[in-house]
């Protein structure tokens, strides 16, 4: 019963018109003054971008940026029209240089504790989004910047991008937004320990070989360009099926095989009565591309 309850989460917000209207208002709001904002990916229906917008500090994470990221993620979480989210920089050749250390020096211990708690919760929201997510890394992704990327489903980097890593131990701390845990789950304990213990800063090519990066952009192509190619492959498929598949796969490492198979079935079951399933069958029979609506 618990599994069946969880599978209803990805359809729960479809009828919430007030939340959806709020999302649309923010999506069309002038981003001036915001350090992170939502923007539709032009020409790619269903793809929304969460844009980092603090170029003077290479998108270093301030309290305002973290607040704006969280607000944006809350909007996406309740928005059925977003089928995929891409995190990218508003400025070319940037991603996120980590925490804003100049601001950090002005914080009290209580403020630091609150910042870390908020960061942990915010990246938890990002990781738990029902829709697929891609980090388009077109510049340095250090510390908290890489931790944001690790909370996404996919990480794509520009071929010439440098400075990807978790350098916190060189500053006397450790990753504080979940980086040790997500790196260990992605890379395995030994590789995660080496990455964190050495405070190594990798090129995009090295990061791909290490397993941190999934795809590299080609020459003359940005990470965002390459992200849109992957996004187009994904969003053509049924939204509810994508959400159910993400939910099932994301739980796999937590469950025994038998429990995982039961959870997969619980995720599958609600799709049988969806309009999208019927549309998929009809489109296959008629030899045409399906027109999915997320219903």
Catalytically active residues, by annotation: 99, 144, 147, 168
- For the sheet with 154-157, list strands across it: 36-40, 47-52, 84-89, 133-137, 154-157, 215-216
Q: How far apart are the first and last CA of the chain?
A: 23
Sign of CA dihedral 212, 132, 220, 145: negative
Query: Measuring CA to CA, which residue among 123, 135, 237, 258 is closest to residue 179?
Result: 123
Cβ atoms of 155 and 213 within 8 Å: the answer is: yes
């Amino acid at each position: 019963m618990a599994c069946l309850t969880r599978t209803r989460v990805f359809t729960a917000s479809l009828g919430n018109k007030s939340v959806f209207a709020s999302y649309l208002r923010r999506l069309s709001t002038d981003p001036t003054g915001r350090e992170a904002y939502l923007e539709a990916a032009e020409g790619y229906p269903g793809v929304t971008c969460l844009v980092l917008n603090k170029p003077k500090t290479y998108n270093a994470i301030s309290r305002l940026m973290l607040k704006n990221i969280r607000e944006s993620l809350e909007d996406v979480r309740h928005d059925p029209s977003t089928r995929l989210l891409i995190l990218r920089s508003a400025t070319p050749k940037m991603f996120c240089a980590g925490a804003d250390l100049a601001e950090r020096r002005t914080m009290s211990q209580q403020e630091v504790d609150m910042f870390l708690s908020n960061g942990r919760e915010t990246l938890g929201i990002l990781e738990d989004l029902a829709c697929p997510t891609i980090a388009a890394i077109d510049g340095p992704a250090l510390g908290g910047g890489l931790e944001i990327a690790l909370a996404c489903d996919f990480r794509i980097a520009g071929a010439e991008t440098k400075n990807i890593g978790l350098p916190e131990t060189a500053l006397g701390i450790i990753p504080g937004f979940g980086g040790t845990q997500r790196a260990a789950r992605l890379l395995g304990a030994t590789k995660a320990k080496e990455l964190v213990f050495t405070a190594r800063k990798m090129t995009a090519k090295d990061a791909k070989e290490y397993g941190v990066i999934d795809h590299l952009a080609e020459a003359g192509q940005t990470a965002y360009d390459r992200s849109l190619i992957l996004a187009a492959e994904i969003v053509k498929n049924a939204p509810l099926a994508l959400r159910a598949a993400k939910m099932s796969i994301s739980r796999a490492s937590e469950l025994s095989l038998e429990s995982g198979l039961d959870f997969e079935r619980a995720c599958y079951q609600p799709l049988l009565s969806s309009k999208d399933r019927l549309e998929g069958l009809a489109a296959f029979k008629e030899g045409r591309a399906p027109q999915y609506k997320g219903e």
